[in-house]
Structure 1
Amino acid sequence: MPKMPQLGATLSSDITLLFLCHSLLEEIHKNSHPCRKIDYVRDDLSKVGVMDAGNQKSRYGYNGVLITRPTFYNILLSKVPKEKIQWGKRMIGLKQDEHSVEIECEDNLVVQTGEEGAAKPKVLFKGDILIGADGAYSSVRRHMYQAMKDEGIELPETDMAPLRFDSNCVVGVTEELTEKEYPALGNRSGDFYVIIGKERAIQVYLFTFAENRLGWQICGQMDKPEEYDEKDFRFSDWKPTAADELCEMVRHYKNPYGGTVGDLIDRTPKERLSKVMLEDKYFSTWFHKRTVLMGDACHKHLPFGGQGANQAILDSVHLVNQLYGIPSNSLADITKSFQAYYDYRSPNAKEVFKSTTMVANVLSARGFVSDMVRFVALGHLPEFINNLGMDGMNTDRPYLCFLPPPPGQGTVMPTPQAVPVHYKGGPMAAAVPVGDQ
């Protein structure tokens, strides 16, 4: 099993509700902190404003939580039989037709344990569908788009354009700390801080985790982003790294939990520190024949809105629901499922993409006008406007249609759930048709 990046994941209330159906919520709560608000401060800790999530439990049924990704992954992996997962495979080929889809992979695990310079063995996998959940640099997407071009299918220019980068990001999770050093660890709260640099477009995010660790994330705009594109950073996705110049720029920032940001950097082992170039992009083409995309492979969000993991999980639920009850493995039936999934999820994912980009612009812009925008947006919005914004992010609360709906949905009703396109049973509660019935 490969090492997981030492990042944090914010699971919103709509996602925590989903895990109740799978008896995972208790374990997630045991290893996470509830997240109800974000405090925004300047690098001298003077207050900018607060983004208050309000009473999520009463409005949506459950609180959002903050959890480390390795912990979250391990909880999910504990429910999957080990023989169901193949590690260390790199996709290098794709074939699909009316009857099946086949991928060719290099077996990197065999190479790592074999002789130096040995040829990489190839392995074939064959199935009815292929789901590309392999991130922003998706090999599945690249091969699918190439196959479409070879078949004479014209793709939107925006889909074929390379990813563009405008920010660096360094993240870390400290070694285990004590409550004596950092009393905030005893609060068992996932509320966190964002420090906005005064002189440069830099933001520092600070979190407390359930394992008595502090997490931090430093984001800064690149000086000449136009000089870089996807080919420059294809293999830089969350790799371990040494603290670099971005860290040095913020070492002196005061830490609202105590001490300085530099103290946290010094308490972070190298294996718990990663660097990446940030990019965002929305793709319009999500499926072709027996292949379909989800998560960052079709909508890569900037991390500022905390929506990357949430949107990928929502994709997976709606895709599974649209495959439920499929009468055959024919290409026609599979296409109907994929189209229904796209019709429902694509508009929602696009709106969230726009929102996270807007949040990034609000946080990174500098100058008097930008300061005034932050002053209003982060501290002086009427409660009803704040609630409207939070409702918009928490009303898509799906559940797997073959399981009973979860209890405790809160006072704000969720949007109606899409009926699986192949569903032939009786009426489903709070469901709306999607696609050709």
Structure 2
Amino acid sequence: MTTPASSKRVAPRVLIVGAGLSGLMLAILFEKMGDVEYFILERAPAAKPLGSAMSLTPSIQLLFDQLGMGEELKKISLRFPGAKLYDENLKLLGEVVHPKTFQKMGGHILLPRPELFDLLLSKIPTERMQWKKRVLKVDEEDEDNKDQVTITCADGSKYVADMVVGADGVYSSVRQNMYRVMEEQGILPKADKEPLNVGFACMVGVTSAMDPEKYPELKDDFAHFRSVVGGVRHNWGAINMPNNKFAWQFNLQYLDDKEAKRQLFMNSEWGPESNKEMLDEFKELPNPFGGKMADFINETPPELVSRVFLEYKLFKTWYHGRCVLVGDACHKMLPGGGAGAVNAFQDAVILANCLYDVDGKSVSSLQAAFQSYYEQRFEKAKAIYKMSEVMSKVMSGLTWQDRLARWLVMRMPQWVLQRDFEKAAAYRPQAMFLPLVGDKGMIPADPQKPCARYVALQKKAAQAKATAATGSVAV
């Protein structure tokens, strides 16, 4: 399922900085195109997928089906019908249930982030990956490569390409270099100079296989998401995962400015690190699946415990020159609603669609593709960014305003939730340079901008087939 051989063009050479979800998905789409030379530069020394549970909505599951990864995705995931919220004494506060129509489309699925990372990485040839490549400089004015972009890494190595994709997260080196150039030119928007919004410290982990007799929820074919909203500064929760595992999460919220700066200094990426103080604060708390949270912490391999400081911000500038941003590099969202991964994948597929029509390596042709990508994605990302902020406060907020919002949402009429979910579910982009997969049919999908080159190729192939058929009849 790749681009037909007859579709020869002058495709740009691409450097993808960052082997996160958006970068890996973009690489898989390039593999399907078949004519794009690309390489991924990743700062980590080796593949170490970290994180906890994550959800994917129907709006992105069709893309996995289209890429031939749907069945593999199902094997590592569980249905995710909704979430239950408790107070610190494990008294049920309420439940957020996904509407039935949404569930009939496939509904949310929930899966371990490490296993999703492994699935994506398995689709990319090893020769396309370069590890231990921390990007220091992105230069479009290199004397030896004025019509290209040059990347310089911390080890002194250099890479030259026609364009660079910054898929390197919220602390993106590509974005920082891009913004520095724009600042020097006096064209960087004021909003993009402002710091990230303060979020909260978060520690997550995935246990080893647990005993289904002790935790009967492990026997179910769907995920039980149980979140505890308690105390003054923290909340916690857990969810059963495939293969008899649990994912757990601790959030330490509403830090003062001094503590927030200390946390920001300590954290720059997902990664396992010693943080006994924070773990000790949660060990004796009640586990919504029974016992204490220490029962899950003690059964979690140290390499599967990671800590991150969650900020959020929607950047206004997504591209400049030969550089373009995807995923957290241009829109860092809070985890409420599970929007981060979905939007990262949507960025990748829309950018791939736009690049498919690029024939040539000029900066003007690339800029046209980047602008089309931005126009298709910015308002969509903006709406989900706002939703994720609201849902994060509903699911884990501790102020009286958050508690009121949570009370209202859990008592909201089903038709209101149905309307909001359907609006989000209607946006489910696919690769427009590949045959589209059949839709679930429950909610009409939003129309997509077609790839002009693919339409022309299909028309040419149909004409050739008709000519051949006519010729055979004449004989």
Q: TM-score, normalised by structure 1?
A: 0.87
Q: Tell me by how many angstroms 1:41 deviates.
A: 1.4
Compared with structure 1, are the counterparts of its residues 426 and 385 closer, same or farther at alpha carbon in structure 2 (3 Å cutoff)? farther
8 A contact 1:163–1:230 mirrored in 2: no
1:214 is aligned, of 231, 240, 246, to: 246
Q: Tell me by how many angstroms 1:400 deviates.
A: 0.3
2:149 is aligned, of 101, 105, 108, to: 101
Compared with structure 1, are the counterparts of its residues 191 and 217 closer, same or farther at alpha carbon in structure 2 (3 Å cutoff)? same
1:202 equivalent to 2:234? Answer yes
Within a 5 Å distance, the mapping from 1:335-346 to structure 2 comes to 335-346=367-378
The one-character-per-residue Cα deviations of 1:173-231 (angstroms, maximum 9, x if unpaired) are 1122121121111112124111111x314221311111211110111214313664499
8 A contact 1:167–1:225 mirrored in 2: no
8 A contact 1:282–1:350 mirrored in 2: yes
Letter in 2 for 1:54: P
2:423 corresponds to which residue? 392
* Alpha-carbon distance in 2 for matches of 1:73, 1:90: 20
2:288 corresponds to which residue? 256
The one-character-per-residue Cα deviations of 1:391-433 (angstroms, maximum 9, x if unpaired) are 13222101100112211333111111123477763999xxxxx
Compared with structure 1, are the counterparts of its residues 229 and 415 closer, same or farther at alpha carbon in structure 2 (3 Å cutoff)? farther
Helix, strand or coil at the partner of 1:425: helix
Letter in 2 for 1:28: L
Q: Tell me by how many angstroms 1:133 deviates.
A: 0.3
2:343 corresponds to which residue? 311
2:304 corresponds to which residue? 272
1:223 equivalent to 2:255? Answer yes
Relative to structure 2, which stretch is displaced further, 268-277 or 18-27? 268-277
Compared with structure 1, are the counterparts of its residues 336 and 229 closer, same or farther at alpha carbon in structure 2 (3 Å cutoff)? farther
Letter in 2 for 1:299: H
Compared with structure 1, are the counterparts of its residues 298 and 385 closer, same or farther at alpha carbon in structure 2 (3 Å cutoff)? same
Compared with structure 1, are the counterparts of its residues 225 and 427 closer, same or farther at alpha carbon in structure 2 (3 Å cutoff)? farther
1:416 is aligned, of 422, 447, 451, to: 447
* Alpha-carbon distance in 1 for matches of 2:265, 2:232: 23
1:358 is aligned, of 372, 390, 415, to: 390
Helix, strand or coil at the partner of 1:239: coil
Within a 5 Å distance, the mapping from 1:56-95 to structure 2 comes to 59=104, 61-95=105-139
The one-character-per-residue Cα deviations of 1:144-188 (angstroms, maximum 9, x if unpaired) are 1112223x1321222112324341111111122121121111112
1:402 corresponds to which residue? 433
Compared with structure 1, are the counterparts of its residues 189 and 180 closer, same or farther at alpha carbon in structure 2 (3 Å cutoff)? same
Compared with structure 1, are the counterparts of its residues 164 and 337 closer, same or farther at alpha carbon in structure 2 (3 Å cutoff)? same
* Alpha-carbon distance in 1 for matches of 2:290, 2:327: 36
2:226 corresponds to which residue? 193
1:326 equivalent to 2:351? Answer no
* Alpha-carbon distance in 2 for matches of 1:242, 1:232: 16
* Alpha-carbon distance in 2 for matches of 1:392, 1:244: 43
Q: Tell me by how many angstroms 1:281 deviates.
A: 0.7
1:292 corresponds to which residue? 324
Unaligned runs of 5+ in 1: 107-120, 429-437
Letter in 1 for 2:218: L
The one-character-per-residue Cα deviations of 1:280-322 (angstroms, maximum 9, x if unpaired) are 0110000001100000000001112211111100000000011
1:149 is aligned, of 152, 159, 183, to: 183
1:27 equivalent to 2:76? Answer no
1:383 equivalent to 2:414? Answer yes
Within a 5 Å distance, the mapping from 1:95-174 to structure 2 comes to 95-96=139-140, 99-106=147-154, 121-150=155-184, 152-174=185-207
Relative to structure 2, which stretch is displaced further, 20-29 or 42-51? 42-51
* Alpha-carbon distance in 2 for matches of 1:201, 1:389: 30
8 A contact 1:19–1:25 mirrored in 2: yes
1:50 equivalent to 2:132? Answer no
Relative to structure 2, which stretch is displaced further, 138-147 or 418-427? 418-427
Unaligned runs of 5+ in 2: 1-45, 460-475
* Alpha-carbon distance in 1 for matches of 2:54, 2:151: 31
* Alpha-carbon distance in 1 for matches of 2:453, 2:262: 39
* Alpha-carbon distance in 2 for matches of 1:21, 1:188: 24
* Alpha-carbon distance in 2 for matches of 1:76, 1:202: 33
Relative to structure 2, which stretch is displaced further, 164-173 or 293-302? 164-173
1:36 is aligned, of 81, 85, 94, to: 81
1:177 corresponds to which residue? 210
Q: Tell me by how many angstroms 1:243 deviates.
A: 4.9
Letter in 2 for 1:104: T
2:466 corresponds to which residue? none
Q: How many residues align?
A: 410
* Alpha-carbon distance in 1 for matches of 2:323, 2:346: 18
The one-character-per-residue Cα deviations of 1:326-367 (angstroms, maximum 9, x if unpaired) are 122211111110001001101111111111111223344446
8 A contact 2:217–2:224 mirrored in 1: no
Relative to structure 2, which stretch is displaced further, 137-146 or 170-179? 170-179
Q: Tell me by how many angstroms 1:130 deviates.
A: 0.5
Compared with structure 1, are the counterparts of its residues 200 and 410 closer, same or farther at alpha carbon in structure 2 (3 Å cutoff)? farther
8 A contact 2:271–2:307 mirrored in 1: yes
8 A contact 1:102–1:124 mirrored in 2: yes
